[in-house]
């Protein structure tokens, strides 16, 4: 039995599935009863559940069942989001100072405008 079961709202008699060994990689092959079982995170070894609406979403989007606990996924997204750097730039048309994900070197090769100037250019 997984030690974290009480914290994860997993009942003691719930079947535990190890990912990827016990769970099909193709969402088409995943049975509806997966919502009655606990999955064990490949990274943290913590158990987690997949609820019916989540399973429906994965099927609709043709996504596999996640291999990581939801908190692990959120930590990874946060880490990625915090690795985005913003660089200042001046709109060449109105001279407004703004920020972009493009480095100063990349800014030299592309035409970056503020939203207002961009929309005027499209009109």
Q: What is the pLDDT, as a whole number, of residue 20?
A: 78
- Tell me, what's the pLDDT at 5? 42
Is residue 13 helix, strand or coil? coil
On whether the pTM is more than 0.75, the answer is no
Name residues of the chain where pLDDT drops below 70.
1-8
Over its C-alpha atoms, the chain yields an Rg (Å, rounded) of 23
Instruction: Output the six-digit token pair for 76.
Output: 């990874």
């Amino acid at each position: 039995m997984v030690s974290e079961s009480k914290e994860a709202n997993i009942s003691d008699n719930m079947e535990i599935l190890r990912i990827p060994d016990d769970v099909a990689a193709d969402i088409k092959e995943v049975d509806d009863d997966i919502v009655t079982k606990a999955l064990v995170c490949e990274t943290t070894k913590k158990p987690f559940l997949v609820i019916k609406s989540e399973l429906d979403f994965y099927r609709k989007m043709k996504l596999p069942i996640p291999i990581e606990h939801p908190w692990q996924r959120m930590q990874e997204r946060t880490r990625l989001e915090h690795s985005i750097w913003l660089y200042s730039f001046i709109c060449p048309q109105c001279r407004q100072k703004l920020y972009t994900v493009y480095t100063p070197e990349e800014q030299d090769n592309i035409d970056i405008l503020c939203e207002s100037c961009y929309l005027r250019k499209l009109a």
